[in-house]
Amino acid sequence: MKGLYFQQSSTDEEITFVFQEKEDLPVTEDNFVKLQVKACALSQINTKLLAEMKMKKDLFPVGREIAGIVLDGILPLDSEDPGLCEVVRVHEHYLVHKPEKVTWTEAAGSIRDGVRAYTALHYLSHLSPGKSVLIMDGASAFGTIAIQLAHHRGAKVISTACSLEDKQCLERFRPPIARVIDVSNGKVHVAESCLEETGGLGVDIVLDAGVRLYSKDDEPAVKLQLLPHKHDIITLLGVGGHWVTTEENLQLDPPDSHCLFLKGATLAFLNDEVWNLSNVQQGKYLCILKDVMEKLSTGVFRPQLDEPIPLYEAKVSMEAVQKNQGRKKQVVQF
């Protein structure tokens, strides 16, 4: 039985994925189950996080968002089994029942983005009805789920589009997005647009997709066009607002911190792996997984999924995913 693995010794420029024969699964222990995989979603591997957690391996298993015949879940970060394999061994604490109305590909393709959206909007920023939310890059797979969750909670949503195609996609949302800000040409000022939309009050919650930290001379031109500067985010944030960032290397100067202090604003870092790093959070984590499945079943979540691919195409597709190529979620179907 073969599984797909990531060669951790490879550099960022030379990412290597290999199929490797996998040893037979050990006898199932208490609280573990064998899961026949029906679908597995592909997501970027955070090699830096693995290195910081000292999870050094020659080969690291690929594919953690899986859906199978009985149960569905996200494999823990330290799992030795790749999700891109016919059968895996999983602890029951990482599993949740899949409703009958939800397909295998929908379950696998939505579970991780659903967890990230819940973590950002519910636990880190305490979203409630009537709040205004800026979701950067809303046409991405994660942005789509975040917008749908925000709308479901009764929030007013503003989003940015990185291309004409993304803009058209966001304008088709129902209920409609309050304002779609097209940043593809680099001429639109995000802060000004948000302040205009909120009557100068600023937004209550910002969920970024990365920010620009330095001056124009120090960063690539493509990144300049699509990402706002950190000062723009601070400017458009309202009093008592919440900034949830995916920028793990964010640096704030004293004037930036002072501005956040004056606004009584908070800054939180979105790392969805935290749920698997402490057993204390297990109950909340399982509630999130269950709620994501329920919202898929009732149509609240409508994920953007690419056409399912067979296992033999997973290596090429994973290389593209790791390079952040493609907008829709890629799912391997068994």
The CATH number linked to 254 is 3.40.50.720
- Considering the domain architecture, whether residues 263 and 284 belong to the same structural domain is answered as no
pLDDT under 70: residue ranges of the chain:
1, 8-15, 22-30, 53-57, 70-84, 215-225
- Asked if residue 115 is part of any domain, the answer here is no
Among the listed residues 42, 43, 102, the one whose alpha carbon sits nearest the alpha carbon of residue 301: 102
Range of the domain at 260: 129-269
User: Would the CA dihedral through 274, 278, 283, 286 be positive or negative?
Assistant: positive
- Asked if residue 157 is part of any domain, the answer here is yes
- Considering the domain architecture, whether residues 265 and 133 belong to the same structural domain is answered as yes
Domain total for the chain? Answer: 2
Q: What is the largest CA-CA distance in the chain?
A: 62
- Asked if residue 177 is part of any domain, the answer here is yes
Quick one: pLDDT at residue 273? 81
Quick one: pLDDT at residue 216? 58
- Considering the domain architecture, whether residues 59 and 144 belong to the same structural domain is answered as no
- Asked if residue 118 is part of any domain, the answer here is no
Quick one: pLDDT at residue 42? 85
288 vs 141: CA distance, rounded Å? 18
Q: Can you give the pTM of this predicted structure?
A: 0.85
The phi, psi pair for 296, rounded to 5°, reads -65, -45
Quick one: pLDDT at residue 177? 92
- 276 and 77 Cβ atoms separated by less than 8 Å: yes
- Considering the domain architecture, whether residues 263 and 154 belong to the same structural domain is answered as yes
Quick one: pLDDT at residue 312? 82
- Considering the domain architecture, whether residues 59 and 94 belong to the same structural domain is answered as yes
- Considering the domain architecture, whether residues 314 and 291 belong to the same structural domain is answered as yes
- Considering the domain architecture, whether residues 184 and 290 belong to the same structural domain is answered as no
Query: DSSP letter string over 4-25?
Result: EEEETTS-SSS--EEEEE-PPP
Quick one: pLDDT at residue 71? 47
Quick one: pLDDT at residue 72? 53
Give the model confidence (pLDDT) of 165-180 as tens digits: 889 999 999 899 999 9
- Considering the domain architecture, whether residues 137 and 97 belong to the same structural domain is answered as no
Quick one: pLDDT at residue 90? 76
Quick one: pLDDT at residue 256? 93
- Considering the domain architecture, whether residues 58 and 154 belong to the same structural domain is answered as no
- Asked if residue 10 is part of any domain, the answer here is yes
